[in-house]
Structure 1
Amino acid sequence: MRRRLLSSTLLVAVIAVLLLGVPLGVAVNRLIQEEAIQELSGEAKSLLNEVEYARIQEQPITREQLGRKYPERYVQIYARGTPPQVTTVGTEPPEDRKMSADAQSESGVYVSVSRDKTQVEQQVRAWLLLILALAAAALAVAVGLAVVQSRRLTLPLRDLAMIAERLGSGEARPSKHRYGIGELDRVAEVLDRSATRIADLLAREREFATDASHQLRTPLTGLTMRLEEIVAAADDPSVVKEEGEAAIVQAERLTAVIDELLAAARRQRHAQTAVVELDPLLDQQFIEWGPAFRREGRKLVLAGTRGLRALGTSGGISQVVSTLLENSLRHGGGPVTVTTSSTDKSIVIEVADEGPGITDELAPRVFERSMSGAGGTGLGLTLARALAAADGGRLELVRPRPAAFAIFLRPVGDPGRNRVVSGPA
């Protein structure tokens, strides 16, 4: 491209110089020739007047006078009379290089002034050389400007090609480079936007992998506990049946979690909220987490108002409650109390324990991603809050020490009951 720009610019410059230089050279040649002829004609008329005046005054004009006044000229004077007078001054130039002008009066005086064309041609050549020098300078300037312009265009294009190659290799980082050229700046802006989108997609994929590994651990833990109970109670058929059914429920929850995580990865989670009975949902959570708490010598207590209903999705609410119970089991202490209550604006599920709680430094950032004060992944509360928000509710830390979390859900009859909620899960 750079060579093409140079050649095209040079071609345009050559054409422009030819279109201007050739007519200018012809015009200069003609102008100098005409100026020389006009000069000779003026000298002939002036000489004629001098000769006429000398004849009237009867004063002769000598050759020395004419030679001093008209140097480098060949002068001829002819005057009628008896005998006629003919006077010549200077050396006559060759016929092929002769340039002449004459003048004649009514009294019969004729003068002719001639010169050699060599000096005129030298002057013409000098002007033509000047025009050629100017043309060469113009071409040099054009080539210089073409080099600068080609560098200004090719270097940004190389830079953009490197940015595009970097995007193709997976390094999605906006360059923020601008070049002062409108078209190239628009291409750079498009590449920057593409880099941002690619970076967002890669971040979503990484988040999905991390979220999936975290969220799948809780149902798998519950499933493992159920299977352990089945093994421990193999001698009691009724217990085996009960634990087997619980294991099936855990497997179904695992399938639901996978579906929701896949939908969240595509940013296409559209949850049609419905009326959820909270009692069966919480009872199921107690059945799943009861054995784990009993092995730790701790209690699960359900308190508050029974028979409450809220707007949301059973899968989302179950995962939020399950995350809070798991956090209490791992990081809390003493009995865990799940309290349900209702207000005019919300249905509240509070999960509280009697452990050491959350430090003042960690409390304001407890819902931030990858923020953990006890060596965990720091994803559970982040995902739980996102799930609550997807159902139109919210998850809050209501007391740091001892820790107490509350899920605020929309009551039945809320105006936004049938709205479609989209967003990360």
Structure 2
Amino acid sequence: MRRRLLNSTLAVVLVTVALFSVPLAVVEKRSIEGAAQDAVKTEAIHILGVIENRYAANEPIDPAALAGLNDSGSSRYAVVQIPGHSEPIILGTPPKGSDPVTATEKGPHGETVVVQESRGPVDDSIVRMLLLLVGVAALTVAAAMALAIWQAKRITRPLIDLAETAERLGSGDPRPRQRRYGMAELDRVGEILDQSAERIGRMLTAERRLAADASHQLRTPLTALSMRLEEIVETDDLDTVKEEAAIALGQVERLTDVVQRLLTNSRESRNAAAVAFDVDEVIKQQAEEWRPALRRYGRKLYLEGPPGLLAVGTPGAVAQVIAALIENSLMHGDGSVTIRTRVRDTRVVIEVQDEGAGVPDELGARVFERTVSGHNSTGIGLAVARDLAEADGGRLELLSQRPPVFALFLGRQESQ
């Protein structure tokens, strides 16, 4: 593109210079020749005028009388033919070269004056004029090419930069560059690329977040399922095997539900699946799943609260939130874990509490932020739990740092 710009600019400049210089050279050449011709003619008229004056004064007309008309340094040559004189009067020396500049004048008494001047000075003036025009044209072309090179760089550099930005977007680097170039069209392209980079960045962030959430949401039911299978492996009691297998099948169904909701997450809102459900049923199911894991560490799980509470939400999502809170207590807490239910105004509150050291002061309200963790864990468990709660129209809060008390607030459904 740069070469095309240079070639097109050079072509335009050359055509412009040619259209300007050629007519100017012709006009100047004619002007120089015309000035030389006028000078010779003026000289002839002057000599003729002197001859007429001598005729009028009855003075003799001879070479001596006309000798002073030709300066010693003059390059002009004059031949005066007087009627009655056998020999012409010659002034100066004949000019060198062929085709001299010549002027002929005749007087009323029949005299004839021929003045000639060498064409050499005229040709020299024409050459100097042409050299001047060529120099001006060369300077014009050079200036135009310098300007064209600067302009080509000014235009092509942003294009190269925009191409690099597009290549970066194609290679998966969605950072906007926020570069502008002072040209409306190129600035518009840069703005669109930056907007595209921001959209791609948001899409990639959403995909990475979905992958992280999916891995964490799947890890909890898989951990519970693994514990049930371990219980089956360690026991020889057929009834216990059947019981644990039935619970494992239920966990597989919940795992399938988690996968299904993850697949439809980008298409549907979880609020569309919100229903009235029995809180006790969800809590008891989670208690059965997590008691074996707590028991391995010598810890107990207690349930407290009034029975028969109905909440509005998605049972599977609420079960995941409670599982995330129990797992958080298992990993970061200590002592017994208590799941407590209560009613607050129009809300059903599910609290999960343990007897550990609690949430460090430096975490505090940041405990629900992604990547924030006090024990080198992934730091997304509580963040995912809060997202699930908010998707159901509820909210998840840290009520107390010491002892640690997390509370899930859900809409309440009045019993019939």
AA partner of residue 269 (structure 2): H
AA partner of residue 368 (structure 1): E
Q: State the Cα distance separating 1:196 from its structure 2 match.
A: 3.9
Match of residue 67, structure 1, among 67, 70, 95: 70
RMSD: 3.1
Deviates more, 1:300-309 or 1:358-367: 300-309
Match of residue 224, structure 1, among 223, 226, 229: 226
AA partner of residue 64 (structure 1): A
In the other structure, the counterpart of 1:361 is: 362
> Counterparts of 1:123-272 in structure 2 under 5 Å?
123-231=125-233, 234-235=236-237, 237=239, 239-264=240-265, 267-271=266-270, 272=272
Q: State the Cα distance separating 1:246 from its structure 2 match.
A: 1.5
Q: Percentage identity across aligned positions?
A: 47
Q: In the aligned structure 1, how far is the partner of 2:5 from the partner of 2:47?
A: 62
2:103 counterpart of 1:101: yes
Q: In the aligned structure 2, how far is the partner of 1:366 from the partner of 1:321?
A: 16
Q: In the aligned structure 2, how far is the partner of 1:333 from the partner of 1:150?
A: 71
> The residue matched to 1:34 in structure 2 has which SS?
helix
Q: In the aligned structure 1, how far is the partner of 2:34 from the partner of 2:227?
A: 117
**TM-score of the aligned structures, taking structure 1 as reference length:** 0.84
Q: In the aligned structure 1, how far is the partner of 2:274 from the partner of 2:212?
A: 29
Q: In the aligned structure 2, how far is the partner of 1:110 from the partner of 1:342?
A: 138
Report if the CA contact (8 A) 1:273-1:311 is conserved: no
In the other structure, the counterpart of 1:342 is: 343
Q: In the aligned structure 2, how far is the partner of 1:270 from the partner of 1:316?
A: 12
How many residues are aligned here? 409
Report if the CA contact (8 A) 1:44-1:113 is conserved: yes
Report if the CA contact (8 A) 2:276-2:413 is conserved: no
Q: In the aligned structure 1, how far is the partner of 2:158 from the partner of 2:269?
A: 44
In the other structure, the counterpart of 1:36 is: 36
Q: In the aligned structure 1, how far is the partner of 2:121 from the partner of 2:34?
A: 14
Q: In the aligned structure 2, how far is the partner of 1:259 from the partner of 1:44?
A: 116
> The residue matched to 2:410 in structure 1 has which SS?
strand
> The residue matched to 1:261 in structure 2 has which SS?
helix
2:297 counterpart of 1:296: yes
Report if the CA contact (8 A) 1:301-1:335 is conserved: yes
> The residue matched to 2:356 in structure 1 has which SS?
coil
> The residue matched to 1:137 in structure 2 has which SS?
helix
Deviates more, 1:285-294 or 1:377-386: 285-294
Q: In the aligned structure 2, how far is the partner of 1:321 from the partner of 1:176?
A: 44
AA partner of residue 132 (structure 1): V
Q: State the Cα distance separating 1:29 from its structure 2 match.
A: 0.8
In the other structure, the counterpart of 1:120 is: 122
Q: In the aligned structure 1, how far is the partner of 2:81 from the partner of 2:269?
A: 119
Q: In the aligned structure 1, how far is the partner of 2:358 from the partner of 2:73?
A: 122
Q: State the Cα distance separating 1:70 from its structure 2 match.
A: 8.5
AA partner of residue 63 (structure 1): L
In the other structure, the counterpart of 2:17 is: 17
Distance 1:39 1:233, change over 3 A: same
AA partner of residue 138 (structure 2): A
Q: In the aligned structure 2, how far is the partner of 1:152 from the partner of 1:255?
A: 59
Q: In the aligned structure 1, how far is the partner of 2:48 from the partner of 2:87?
A: 14
> The residue matched to 1:356 in structure 2 has which SS?
coil
Deviates more, 1:114-123 or 1:397-406: 114-123
> Counterparts of 1:36-55 in structure 2 under 5 Å?
36-55=36-55
Q: State the Cα distance separating 1:401 from its structure 2 match.
A: 0.8
Q: State the Cα distance separating 1:322 from its structure 2 match.
A: 1.1
AA partner of residue 101 (structure 2): M
Q: State the Cα distance separating 1:397 from its structure 2 match.
A: 0.9
In the other structure, the counterpart of 2:373 is: 372
In the other structure, the counterpart of 2:384 is: 383
Q: How big is each residue's C-alpha offset from its partner over 1:134-191, in whole Å with a ceiling of 9 and x where there is no partner?
A: 2222222333333333334444444444444444444444444444444444444444
> The residue matched to 2:373 in structure 1 has which SS?
coil
Q: How big is each residue's C-alpha offset from its partner over 1:377-410, in whole Å with a ceiling of 9 and x where there is no partner?
A: 2110011111112122221111111111111223
Distance 1:412 1:13, change over 3 A: farther
Q: In the aligned structure 2, how far is the partner of 1:25 from the partner of 1:11?
A: 21
Q: In the aligned structure 1, how far is the partner of 2:235 from the partner of 2:130?
A: 115
Deviates more, 1:12-21 or 1:146-155: 146-155
Q: In the aligned structure 2, how far is the partner of 1:262 from the partner of 1:138?
A: 69
Report if the CA contact (8 A) 1:354-1:402 is conserved: yes
> The residue matched to 1:97 in structure 2 has which SS?
coil
AA partner of residue 11 (structure 1): A
Report if the CA contact (8 A) 2:274-2:392 is conserved: no
Q: State the Cα distance separating 1:224 from its structure 2 match.
A: 2.2
AA partner of residue 282 (structure 1): I
> The residue matched to 1:375 in structure 2 has which SS?
coil
Q: State the Cα distance separating 1:234 from its structure 2 match.
A: 4.4
AA partner of residue 21 (structure 2): G
Report if the CA contact (8 A) 2:97-2:119 is conserved: no
Q: In the aligned structure 2, how far is the partner of 1:299 from the partner of 1:222?
A: 16
Q: State the Cα distance separating 1:332 from its structure 2 match.
A: 1.9
Q: How big is each residue's C-alpha offset from its partner over 1:332-374, in whole Å with a ceiling of 9 and x where there is no partner?
A: 2333332333344533222222221111111121111111112
Q: State the Cα distance separating 1:320 from its structure 2 match.
A: 0.8
Report if the CA contact (8 A) 1:172-1:198 is conserved: yes
Q: How big is each residue's C-alpha offset from its partner over 1:78-109, in whole Å with a ceiling of 9 and x where there is no partner?
A: 556x6699533123447951323344555655
Distance 1:325 1:48, change over 3 A: same
Deviates more, 1:129-138 or 1:295-304: 295-304
In the other structure, the counterpart of 1:323 is: 324
Report if the CA contact (8 A) 1:298-1:335 is conserved: yes
List alignment gaps of at least 5 residues for structure 1: 414-425
In the other structure, the counterpart of 1:284 is: 285
AA partner of residue 150 (structure 2): V
> The residue matched to 1:366 in structure 2 has which SS?
helix
Q: In the aligned structure 2, how far is the partner of 1:276 from the partner of 1:300?
A: 26
Q: In the aligned structure 1, how far is the partner of 2:211 from the partner of 2:85?
A: 129
Q: In the aligned structure 1, how far is the partner of 2:248 from the partner of 2:174?
A: 43
AA partner of residue 224 (structure 2): G
